[in-house]
Homo-oligomer: A and B are copies of this chain.
């Protein structure tokens, strides 16, 4: 299939130009500026294949929703304001237990990502105990059906939830985790062999949840898998102050230093959050060329703090954006994450010359995301020869009017009904603001029927952990 997008606005160094963009198969085949002084109109060719009117529309490379947990969608809106360590206890108490739910929430995550500028999603996927393979199969099926580019990192750990909270002075007994380290690594091998098909748009990542719930052996096993199968690496890193305390208890040095020593950090390693790093830690990320995935909404929602994103940028660390799971956000609107992930840092540095501009934010969300997934040569910019993962924005939406700077409006505003079309791997998966490959109304019906309005549910695990958490964090009883 081929598409010709005509008369579309694209960003160039000095501003914008209109262009004719030709998609052939899965690739951006040609970009011909039509208003630039250097490209007289007669350069414009007859369009081939389907012609798309790009007039009054803006074309950008697709963004990467670089960290989420799709099945959290079932619990969005319901968990009260709590810090991560208690929030996750409630989350785990009510986690979905059917692969069909995982399928539906993966579809929902994909729809919201596509309709907010994303063409790739990194799903740090919570596995249903005893149905781990079925869980991955359900998410992969959803992403293939809807046509988003998927990076699925089964969320693995080998320590129980209570170990994620520092002990403080009280030495505690912890329950064994449900699955051994070896079984977990064997499971990952099976997942990779069954589902890792980059050419079909499905990539498996190794993704231990983080130092707070994983043994050395699990990290080492993941590195081995990553090397053997050429897989990207993902993990949470220092999301909360409690995790920083925990790392000191566990290793006697910082979590970043730990990850460096065991060899987990690399230019294909992306790390979600990175809120509590110090300057020495930042230098390690720069040196190892790891990517920071900034999730501003969940960092605020869970009270985790403000990740030092301006410092990362100054140190040359690659940064991109994620929505994080929908139970800690509580949405999958990538443009919202990009807006907040840009603006939030203006209060951390008086010198406005360091603040993130809308154009920089777009580059972080597209090329920055591609770098973190080791595909910057194939994705992340409007470049002839790269894969056609593209988003077409309708600049006549009220939310993008009056006309000023289109990218400024897109990033700093609140775009509503602004996505006209999305292509992933050359296929048009959104047209006229609607996903093309599944029935969106049917999805809403399924999500509606499998849920109930509710309030005041009680989490047994929160009740168990709260007193200890408050004590360790020096909060009044």
Contacts and interface: CB of A to CB of B under 8 A. Distances in A.
A408 B78 contact: yes
A301 B344 CA distance: 7
Interface stretch (A59-67, A150-158, A312-320, A445-453): A445-453
A455 to B, nearest CB: 4
List the number of copies, as a whole number.
Answer: 2
Contacts of A414: 331, 333, 336
Contacts of A447: 398, 401-403
A222 interface: no
Nearest to A83: B352
A440 to B, nearest CB: 7
A453 B349 CA distance: 30
A443 B77 contact: no
A22 B398 CA distance: 33
Contact of A78 (B78, B355, B405, B476): B405
B357 A81 contact: yes
Nearest to A346: B303
Given A305-B347, A347-B306, A77 B453 contact: no
Interface string A166-205: 0000000000000000000000000000000000000000
Interface in A366-417: 395-406, 408-410, 412-414, 416-417
Given A331-B414, A412-B76, A444-B396, A405 B453 contact: yes
B76 A409 contact: yes
A106 B289 CA distance: 48
Given A347-B299, A352-B86, A402 B473 contact: no
Contacts of A400: 77
Contacts of A333: 414, 416
Contacts of A74: 402, 404
Contacts of A302: 346
A433 to B, nearest CB: 10
Interface string A405-434: 110111011101100000000000000000
Nearest to A445: B396
Contacts of A357: 80-81
A403 B452 contact: yes
Interface in A127-156: none
A357 to B, nearest CB: 6
B346 A300 contact: yes
Given A331-B399, A403-B452, A447-B401, A303 B80 contact: no
A280 interface: no
Contacts of A448: 56, 396, 401-403
B343 A301 contact: yes
A340 interface: yes
Contacts of A325: none
Contacts of A299: 347
Contacts of A86: 352
Contacts of A83: 350, 352
A252 interface: no
A408 B331 CA distance: 11
Contacts of A406: 77, 453
A476 B396 contact: no
Nearest to A360: B81
B331 A413 contact: yes
A403 B306 CA distance: 30
Contacts of A346: 81, 300-303
Nearest to A335: B414
A401 B351 contact: no
Contact of A351 (B56, B304, B453, B475): B475
A324 B60 CA distance: 29
B409 A330 contact: yes
A43 to B, nearest CB: 22
Given A301-B412, A306-B347, 14 more contacts: A9-B453, A56-B448, A74-B404, A75-B404, A77-B406, A80-B357, A303-B352, A305-B347, A330-B412, A350-B473, A396-B444, A398-B440, A398-B447, A404-B453
9 nearest CB pairs, A to B? A77-B409, A402-B451, A331-B414, A77-B408, A303-B346, A78-B404, A81-B355, A403-B451, A401-B447
